[in-house]
Amino acid sequence: MNDMTKCYQLAPDLKICRIVNGMWQVAGGHGYIEHELAIADMTRYHDAGFTSWDLADIYGPAEDFIGEFRGRLLISKGKEELDKTQALTKWVPQPGRITRSMVKENIERSLRRMNVNTLDLLQFHWWDYNNPYYMDALKYLSDLRDEGRIRHIGLTNFDTERIQIMKDSEIQIVSNQVQYSIIDRRPEVKMMPFCLKHNISLLAYGSICGGLLSELYLGRKQQPSTVELNTLSLRKYMKMIEAWGGWNLFQELLLTLKRIAHKYNVSIANVATRYILDKSAVAGVIIGVRLGIADHINNNVQVFNFSLDKSDYDDIEAVCKKSNDLFEIIGDCGDEYR
């Protein structure tokens, strides 16, 4: 995967793969992760060119997995190969008073767990806007960036209004991670224009709706039961589909995506991913990896082998016009968490 279209310059000194390996799945709720199989799978993703990882301090053993993977990669393939990896972690504190020492302690912990001297990207998440200490946290994180412990600061699930406050305070942000898919196009209302104006990139998750945007669910007359939706991702995104327009409209969308996929000899998930990658301000799409359980490496590679044309976008838009407006129902990016 050497083609420049497969990479994105998130900052002058940080280039990422446009498909980022999401590690929320190792935190639980997606099947038992066997340690050795997981680390072996991480090597396989790396060898296939998928060198960027999205994780968080609260994703169970994710940071430890990165640390162990990095250690093994250094021994087996050397520093030059190790330098190709990027680990984009998050700090997700409980809202409350934030002190400088608390921030430093948490960042130092992530550095130790991940076996790095500097965090490539620290993506900050905050649960409660009514608690104003998130601005203190960002100022202390900025200090750690200036000290070289963090390379860049990003955000996770912040809305446009709050990022404007950060910009007004001259907090330097390179990215915001938000839910963005054919189903959930809320970022297009306020977030995307703002990010384009201020040179902030979007990292999109939920772009294949936890696997619901796939052949597996095409042609099913009945919505899957809760028992069938056997991962946290599937249950989460089914709620989005229900709010968007329900199962019958979703089937119409899947049928449309299948026709487009057939045209290019790719999968429905490939089309759904390509659709978001082609959007303005989007740096990359995060696709969850169920390490040691499911393998999507060969399928993910196909995303870079085709382009959508105007007729494809028109066909998708024709279905989406029949859906509800999730911005009106839920609000701006991240509002579903608050």
At residue 28 the predicted structure's pLDDT band, cuts being 50, 70 and 90, is confident
Q: Which domains, from first to last, does the chain contain?
A: 15-211+267-306 (3.20.20.100)
Confidence of residue 69 (pLDDT cuts 50, 70, 90): very high
Side-chain half-sphere CA neighbours of 313 within 13 A: 9
> Does residue 57 surpass a pLDDT of 90?
yes
Residue 3 has pLDDT above 70, yes or no: no
| Chain-centre distance for alpha carbon 189 | 19
Mean pLDDT of 28-32: 80
294 pLDDT more than 80: no
List all residues 6 or more positions away from 166 whose beta carbon is below 8 Å from its beta carbon: 135, 138, 173
Judged against a pLDDT cut of 60, whether residue 307 lies above it is answered with: yes
This prediction's pTM: 0.96
**Contact of 300 with 19, CB cutoff 8 Å:** yes
Region 228-242: mean pLDDT is: 94
Contact residues for 151 (Cβ-Cβ < 8 A; gap 6+): 11, 13, 14, 118, 119, 120, 121, 145
Compute the CA torsion angle 130, 133, 136, 142 (nearest 10 deg). -70
Burial class (CB in 10 A: 0-12, 13-18, 19+), 12: exposed
Q: Are 183 and 241 in contact (CB under 8 A)?
A: yes
The string of pLDDT tens digits covering residues 315-338 is 999 999 999 999 999 999 999 998
Q: 283 vs 173, 262, 278, CA distance in Å?
A: 14, 26, 9
pLDDT in tens, 205-233: 999 999 999 999 999 999 999 999 988 99
* pLDDT in the model for residue 222: 95
Element of type H or E holding 143: helix 134-146
pLDDT tens for 99-112 read 999 999 999 999 99
Asked whether the predicted pLDDT for residue 2 surpasses 70, the reply is no
Give me 177's structure tokens. 């991670």
42-51, 127-136, 161-170, 288-297: which range is least confident on average? 288-297
